[in-house]
Structures are given as structure tokens and as C-alpha cells.
Amino acid sequence: MIAIPTAFRLHAAPIVEEEEQFLSRRGVLLFASLFWAYVTLTNIVYHEAMRIELSEMTGVMVFFPWQHRLMQHVLMLPLLLLCYATAVRLGWRPVGRRVPQQLALAFGFSLLMYWMMLAGGWTLHAVFGTHEVPFGIFSKGDWAVWVSSTATGLLAYGFGLALITGVATYRRYHELQLRNSELRRDWAGARLAALRTQLSPHTLFNVLHTIQARISGEPEVAQTLIASLGDLLRGLLQAGEQDFTQLRDELQFVELYLGLQVGRFADRLTVHVQNGADVPAVWVPSLILQPLVENAVVHGLADHSGPVRIDVTYDLSPYRLQLRVMNSIGSGDAPGIGRFGLRNVRERLAVHFGGRAVLSSGPGDPSTWVATLHLPVLREWCPEPAAAKAAGRP
């Protein structure tokens, strides 16, 4: 149980650290470059069409040639990438400080659009000897062009930043969903590991006391019990490393457990486990029967001094597997429900199968108590490699 909060902190820490940097640098550069290429293309097509149409109608060049606009956008691209990278690094929180900084970046970029038009014209004239278009910042028309370029650049910049923020928000939401799924899987795995290994310490202590009491008078019986206890603990450790096991192995573990109980209560307890070479090759959750047989022993022997019989059987149909644990009870006794053990089993069934597996428990007749597991038939199961589990990969 202690490892679960630790794992949560390990998974949660990167979320906090990466919260502001919602896109990688390469992602920002690629997305911004594609966006600016689209803006450049649409801007050139629109203004060139307007320039040609107005030139034919009036004979006056109202819009700059397309070469100037292409050079303008080429020169603006590094500035756009720098501004977007800075915007991503800044983020949006705290709002009172980050929003003014983002607005300053947007206006700074937009105000340079006109100057890059000038620089583009001068560059084309110097490199290719094109005709230099006479414009500046002193006439009313030039001021209007500057304001228009600034407004157009601000809209383009804001739209691109909104797209980047939207994509980044979706990616962050998707990553949080994946991490949440990983945390839920890790949590479920931790729960299953704890539930699988919940063999009552009280039972183990009682077995050890039984062995100690028989060492001097019945050393051979004590040796047999020690060997059985070793096999039981070995099986418990192996079952704790995997979620599912073969039905025959599960029944063999139950035999070991009940064999130790027979060693303690040889004068009262009789057990029968339906096991052998004909057990079908199906998979069941590991140690799923252990809480049920432990309840059967405890509650079967409680409140009376008569003999107790415990039967563990199975019934397989094409789509359903039934595992049944039946124990006799004293006449007229109302046995304890064994809520902890039954809750353990139900939690594991819910994690593994959802609503496709059911545990029912109740009196079979006035002298017996029956717990029945209804499970889906699993004829194939691929254990997850230990390396993948350690790396936390799905």
C-alpha cells in the first residue's frame, strides 16, 4: 500500500513540470512553419489578384508586387518562430503577468510587418536589381499601409498562436488521459498484488504452533507439515508474481492449504478437491479460491464440535466456468459470512472481469454453506513480460 502514493508522485511530477511547456520545440517550429507557409500563400494570391485587377482598371499600382510580399514573409518567418517559441516557454499562467507579455510579443511581431516589406524591397533591389518601389512612412498612404500591415499581422499571429495553444491543449489532455490510465493500471496492479498475497497471518501462526506441538511426539507428521508449509509459501510467492494461473495449479495450491488444515484438525476435518490429470487447461485469477477455502475452514469449524467436510469442485461449460467451495456447518447454526475474504474476491473479480464474473455465497441446504464463482472461460492468456512490467509499458 505504501508504494501506491510513491508511484503516484513519480507519475504526477512530470505533469507539473511540463504543464507550461505544452509543445516540444520541434513541434512548435514545424507547426509554425506550416502555418506561415499557408499564410504566405493566401496573402500572395489575394493581393496579387487585387493588384492585377486594379492595375488593369486604373493603371496605378496599388498593391506591392508578389515578390515583395514573398520576401516579407520569408524575413518574418524567423521572427515568428522566435516569438512562438518564447510564447510557448512563457505559457499563460499567472494570467495577470503572462497575458500582457503575450500581447507585447504579438504587437511587436505585427509592427515589424511593414518594415520587413521595406527590407524585402531593398533586398530584391540589391540582389536582383528589381525596380525599387518608392514608399516610406511619411505620407498618409504609407501610414495607412503600416496600420493595415500591423492589423493583418496581428490577426495572423493571434490565429496561429490560438491553433498552437489548441493543439497543445488537446495533446496535454490526451497525455493526461494516458497517464491517468497508467496510474489506474498501476493502482489496480498494486491492489491485485496485495489481494493475491492476503493469506491470513493467524492461519500461518496456527500451523507453526501445530508443527511445534508435534515435533516431539510425531516428528514424521511435523516434517510432512513443514514440507507442505514450504510448498505453500513457495506457491504463494509465485502466485504473487502473476495475475492468472492454470486451474490445475490453483487446485493444487488449495490442496496444499487444506492439507495443512487437516494436519491441525485431523479428528474433525475431511477435504476433497476435484483435481487430477483431467483438469481442463483454463486460466483463473491466481489464489482466487484461497480466501473462500479459508472462510470454509474457519466458519465450518466455528460454533460446533462435530465433523466438517469441505469440497472444492469445478464445472466447465463452453462459455462459463464455475468453481464451488462447499463446507458443512453445524445443524441450525448460521455461519459467519466471512465478509473480508468475500470482499477480497469480489474486488479482484471486478478488476479482472468487470461485470462478467460473479461470486455468490449462501446456504446450500440446512447443513452446508456454498460459495460459487462464475467466471468467463479463458483458454489462452499471455503473461506480461517482467521487463515490460518494470518499465511500466502497457
Per the model's pLDDT, the better-predicted residue between 30 and 199 turns out to be 30
Nearest alpha carbon to residue 376 among 313, 325, 323: 323
Q: Where are the alpha helices (DSSP H) in 286-337?
A: 290-301
Measured distance CA(316)–CA(311) in Å, rounded:
17
**209: pLDDT confidence band, cut at 50, 70 and 90?**
confident
Measured distance CA(295)–CA(203) in Å, rounded:
11
- Percentage of the chain beyond pLDDT 70 is 75
Backbone angles phi, psi at 285, to 5 degrees: -60, 135
Question: Residue 305 carries which DSSP code?
Answer: -
From residue 326, alpha-carbon distances to 23, 34, 124, 348 in Å are 60, 70, 94, 21
Whole-number pLDDT of residue 313:
95
Res. 390: pLDDT tops 60: no
Res. 11: pLDDT tops 80: no
Domains of the chain: 3-193 (no CATH), 207-391 (3.30.565.10)
How large is the angle between the packed helices 95-128 and 140-196, nearest 10 degrees? 130
Mean pLDDT of 198-214: 70
Residues 6+ apart with CB under 8 A from 352: 192, 243, 285
**331: pLDDT confidence band, cut at 50, 70 and 90?**
low
* pLDDT tens per residue across span 128-162: 666 555 554 444 456 777 788 888 889 889 998 88
* pLDDT tens per residue across span 289-320: 988 998 888 888 887 778 999 999 999 998 89
Per the model's pLDDT, the better-predicted residue between 228 and 4 turns out to be 228
Q: Where are the alpha helices (DSSP H) in 61-198?
A: 66-90, 95-128, 140-196
Element (H, E) at 201: helix 201-217
Residue 31 identity: F
Mean pLDDT of 244-256: 89
Measured distance CA(121)–CA(362) in Å, rounded:
91
* pLDDT tens per residue across span 64-81: 777 878 888 888 898 888
Res. 208: pLDDT tops 60: yes
Q: What's the CA dihedral at 107, 110, 112, 115 to 10 degrees?
A: -140
Question: Residue 378 carries which DSSP code?
Answer: B
Does residue 73 contact residue 36 with C-beta atoms inside 8 Å?
yes
Per the model's pLDDT, the better-predicted residue between 352 and 240 turns out to be 352
Whole-number pLDDT of residue 383:
53
Cell numbers at residue 38, please? 499557408
Q: Is residue 385 packed enough to be buried (19+ CB in 10 Å), middle (13-18) or exposed (0-12)?
A: exposed
- Percentage of the chain beyond pLDDT 90 is 14
Measured distance CA(184)–CA(362) in Å, rounded:
33
Q: Which range among 95-109, 115-129, 291-305 shows the weakest confidence by mean pLDDT? A: 115-129
Cell numbers at residue 361, please? 455465497
Per the model's pLDDT, the better-predicted residue between 5 and 24 turns out to be 24
Measured distance CA(73)–CA(261) in Å, rounded:
84
